[in-house]
Amino acid sequence: MSSSAIIFYVQRNAFRFGGPLLITIGSIGCILNLMVFTNDTLRKNPCTICFRAVNIVDFIYFYLGLLLTTLAVGYDIDPSATSIVFCRFRYYIALVLACWEASYIILAAIDRTLVTSCNAGTRKLSTRRLIRISVISITIFWLLFHIHALIFTQILQYGPNFFVCYYQPGTYTEFMTFSSLLLNGTLPPLFMGIFGLWTVRNIRKVNRGIRPASLTNTGNMTIGRPRIFRSKDQQLIRMLFMNIISYIIFKCPVTIFLIYIQITQNNGKSTEQNIIEQSVIQLTYFWYFIDNSISCYTNLIVSKTFRTELKRILLNVCSL
């Protein structure tokens, strides 16, 4: 068996068996996350609004992204290859969902940067009202920004009875390639890293400012008492950092491979090499979807508050 046949076999079975598994555990995880983040204990925190938005996007992603890819790659069922309406909608919603997810995580990172600031005026910018306005604005922006996909996506014929839903060849394909590399591959990890490191810097500043209370006690009051982060804020920061790390680990390989394809697109490639590259890109997309499926389980690992709240909710449900 050739190398291309082996990789194609691995790619096909990854989606055939792994796709339904990711959809199942991911859907359960999103529901559990939403149950915790809509609970009275956490729902009033501005950061959890972003987390709820991310989980709603993930849940939609499973059925309008991963499910469709699983059917096409794992089971050779691809309605987008025969219906131009479905073809355009599939690419449009995939682009929108990817940008929504990244933007909401970045927004959560910005909120945590504001919350951990040493400046009281800056901390006051972290409000539910501002976060809601930001989420709604981001949602509308990306819906409008990607309308072009509803016009320029086409069903292309690559051989006898072989049709593929893809971008219109030529300038538009080049535009979409570089746009995807920039909007989905380069800028999101960059901004997440910047605001994540900024938050860490703010926390270290606060920790360095902590002094024993006995040194500043004046008898009636304590002067210069450091601002202490609430436990919930600390737990949310941990969950956010884990989301950022997972995003970088699982989303970036697609970007790296797309860059490789762009660099080598003018090289002479054999048929087998093209098949291998297409199979590898599909495997990187399978890896890409793992991030959407595991956030609940990483939250359980890093956050005691999340574990406590989830346990309490499940016990209440079982007692009904």
User: Using one digit for the tens of pLDDT, what is the confidence trace for 142-181?
Assistant: 999 999 999 999 988 866 777 878 888 888 888 888 888 8
Token pair of 43, please? Answer: 């729902």
Q: Does domain 3-208+228-318 have CATH number 1.10.1040.10?
A: no
To which H or E segment does residue 246 belong? helix 231-263
Query: What single-letter amino acid sits at 46?
Result: P
pLDDT at position 213: 45
H-only helix segments in 116-230: 120-123, 128-145, 149-152, 171-180, 187-208
**pLDDT exceeds cutoff 80 at 7:** yes
Residue 203 has pLDDT above 90, yes or no: no
CA-nearest of 159, 180, 157, 176 to 167 is: 176
What number is the average pLDDT over the span 38-50?
A: 89
pLDDT at 221: 41
Nearest to 301 by CA among 249, 238, 245: 238
Among 118-122, 135-139, 220-224, where is mean pLDDT lowest? 220-224
Helices (H), ranges, 38-83:
46-61, 67-75
* Least confident residue range of 98-112, 167-181, 185-199, 297-311: 167-181
Rounded mean pLDDT of 278-296? 90
> ∠62-63-68 over CA atoms, to 5°?
100
Find all residues with CB under 8 Å of 233, minimum gap 6, and list them.
45, 47, 112, 115, 116
pLDDT at 230: 64
